[in-house]
Amino acid sequence: MLKNLFSQGKIGTMETKNRIVMTAMGNYLANTDGTVSEEDIAFYSARAKGGIGTIITECAIVEDLRGKGNTHQITVSHDKFILGLRKLADAIHKYHSKIVVQIYHPGRQGISAINQNLPMLAPSAIECNAVHQPVTTMTTEEISDMVERFIQAAVRLKEAGIDGVEVHGAHGYLINEFLSPYTNERTDKYGGSFENRMRFLEEIIVGIRERCGKDYPLLVRLSVDEFLGVIGLPGKGLQLEDSVKIAKRLEALGVDALDVSSGIYESMNVAWEPSSFQQGWKIHLSETIKKSVNISVIGVAVIRDPEYAEQILAEGKVDFVGSARQHYADAEWSSKAKEGRTDEIRKCISCLHCMETLSSTDMTSTPCQCGINIEAGKELEYSNLREDGEGKTVAIIGAGPAGLEAARILAKRKYKPIVFEKNDKIGGQLQYANKPPKKDKINWLIDYLRVQVEKLGVEIRLNTPATIEELKALDPYAVFIAHGSNPVLPKSISGIDGDEVLSSIDILSGNKELIGKKVAVIGSGMTGIETAHLLAEDGNEVSIFEMADNIGPGLYFQNLIDVMGHIEKLGVQIYPKHKLTSIKDGNVIFEVMEGGEKKEFNFDNIVISIGTQSNDELVAEIKSNFENVKLLGDAKKVGKIRDAIEAGYVNAFTL
């Protein structure tokens, strides 16, 4: 059925067993000295074992002084790194997969604090508005030195037995900065004309070809459209027509494949997309490049479904199908697709938890985390799943993500999990999280968990609240409490019990439908903003009130930018620094946080979305009746999807 996806491919002289490519993405697993770690090897090996044809590693450092992107990054700046790279290559080759190492320099997007506190190198001293680091213009001598460092890195990779090298010319890093008129304002031979802006990359490519030979597979990653229009700069920077010229020139220079992407840090959401972006949204970029060259093209576009991957291959839009986050979410995506087990794939839901951990840990030792796959980056820690449950019963209260993940792992360990769920469907809070506009990918997670517990034979008792009597009848070895949380409705606010006052759950659950009303949403966490989005799309006049200085306090900036862009188009009004004090007959009184001024508004309905609190129902009684009791997810501490799934996984793994 997926004959194109699993047909052999070729990139230069490199023959691949299929058309699946894991594209480069940081994992923060390397040792602090830049050597390949055992965790690195386990991470990439799991994905090779899972059937990926070609793995492109995270971007590797070529220059030590100002070339780091984070503190745990593979390095190829010295011969001493060859041994570890060879060990990595050998591990991947055991599974008949190919491994390519991506080499790069962060340029103006690097962090000075982890680069000797020096200003970052760039073609021109133009600060990046996303990271705000000091930048200095490279001299021609520094450019020549950098070219040589890229070339030497490629030579080391070949010596290490790495199957190919990918030169990172995308996502706003140093090479991209030379290519783009947005970041290159030089007036010498490295700036100005198209030919001059190409020169830095050309010298690297020519040098690699001369030193590594014409047969060594050489790939280049490009942001073929920087999409600067999304930051108010339409017509600026690299656009698709420019990149067609770049692609043709690279083909003429002997490049074997083009890895097509988009965006820079300042337009980050088109490079690493939030959940609102649909599968295939930018495949036209790869298709256009493919039509302009005769070398292999790798395409990325939020590709999650094997059937869609097959379709774009069959239609000739790409030669290879690329994804990074999907292979974080499920290391076995490839083998499940090949074996016809597509219903078992854990699809990436584009929650961006991975990007949040990467962005927040540039200077720490925390590895990248996946929001839904706890094993990602911890393959060694969770490599030995014991099957020692001996059929012992574990009662689980709640069929949300924490309870279902616990049931999945317990069943694999040969326990007998029995899940009590008071509602008529599984999913818990996920059944609310999937209701706002553009959040349909949440259903993928619900479907994955449903399929897993069904295939493992887990008993789920829907419409069945857990009681002490029923739990005692099971004589359980352990009881896992995962019954979630309830909305916070502060009784201290006068009028909070009025008929016009609702919770965000009332809206998201469908218990209350509002159309054509004037509505205030109190609280601008993600639930509040997304509830406002849903209400606005239903034709309501919506205002969001937040007592903090800014909307969305504590939210990851990519997700916030994305959803704010949608609600602004719908005319949602925003009121930061407004504290709700009282409600009466639709009249809502706020205190302005600066100065204490009182302001009155009138609304048909007020929707409270200021968070949730752990559901403590039956907890004390259960603890007094059973010895081995575990609190999971929101039942213990309110958190995100990752927190719930991790609690379920870890408690089941360690029981």
| Residues annotated as part of the active site | 173
Residues 6+ apart with CB under 8 A from 469: none
Q: Look at residue 1 in the predicted model and tell me its pLDDT.
A: 84
Q: Look at residue 595 in the predicted model and tell me its pLDDT.
A: 86
Answer yes or no: CATH 3.40.50.720 is held by domain 489-610.
no
Residues 6+ apart with CB under 8 A from 299: 260, 283, 285, 286, 287, 290, 312, 317, 318, 320, 321, 322
* H-type alpha helices, 213-344: 240-252, 283-292, 306-314, 325-329, 333-338
Q: Look at residue 505 in the predicted model and tell me its pLDDT.
A: 96
Region 288-295: what's the mean pLDDT? 99
pLDDT band per the 50, 70, 90 thresholds, residue 361: low
- How far apart are alpha carbons 536 and 457 in whole angstroms? 42
Q: Which CATH number fits domain 9-360: 3.20.20.70, 3.40.50.10490, 2.20.25.10, 3.10.110.10?
A: 3.20.20.70
- How far apart are alpha carbons 117 and 132 in whole angstroms? 13
pLDDT (tens digit, 9 = 90+) per residue, 2-51?
A: 999 999 999 999 999 999 999 999 999 999 999 999 999 999 999 999 99
Region 317-335: what's the mean pLDDT? 99
* Domain extents in the chain: 9-360, 393-486+616-654, 489-610
Region 421-439: what's the mean pLDDT? 97
Classify each residue of 292-308 as buried b or exposed e, where b means 16 or more C-beta atoms within 10 Å of its C-beta: bbebbbbbbbbbbbbeb
pLDDT (tens digit, 9 = 90+) per residue, 600-636?
A: 999 999 999 999 888 888 899 999 999 999 999 887 8
Quickly list DSSP for 518-556.
EEEEE--SHHHHHHHHHHHHTT-EEEEEESSSSSSTT--
Give the residue, 205 or 358, on which the prediction is more confident: 205
Q: Look at residue 103 in the predicted model and tell me its pLDDT.
A: 99
Start-to-end Cα distance in the chain: 41
Q: Which residue has the tokens 């947005």?
A: 182
Strand ordering across the sheet containing 459-461: 459-461, 416-420, 393-397, 478-481, 629-631
Q: Cβ atoms within 10 A of the Cβ of 402, count?
A: 35
Residues 6+ apart with CB under 8 A from 206: 253
Q: Which conformational region is residue 144 in: left (phi greater than 0), alpha (psi within -120 to 50 degrees), or beta? A: alpha
Answer yes or no: CATH 3.40.50.720 is held by domain 393-486+616-654.
yes
Which among 476, 460, 449, 469 is positioned nearest to 391, based on CA atoms? 476
Q: Look at residue 582 in the predicted model and tell me its pLDDT.
A: 95
- How far apart are alpha carbons 598 and 582 in whole angstroms? 11
- How far apart are alpha carbons 420 and 418 in whole angstroms? 7
- How far apart are alpha carbons 158 and 85 in whole angstroms? 10
Q: Residue 589: pLDDT above 80?
A: yes
Which among 568, 501, 499, 561 is positioned nearest to 533, based on CA atoms? 568
pLDDT band per the 50, 70, 90 thresholds, residue 362: low
Which among 455, 458, 452, 457 is positioned nearest to 396, based on CA atoms? 458
Q: Residue 365: pLDDT above 70?
A: no
Q: Look at residue 272 in the predicted model and tell me its pLDDT.
A: 95
Q: Residue 363: pLDDT above 70?
A: no
Q: Is 166 in contact with 201 (CB distance < 8 Å)?
A: no
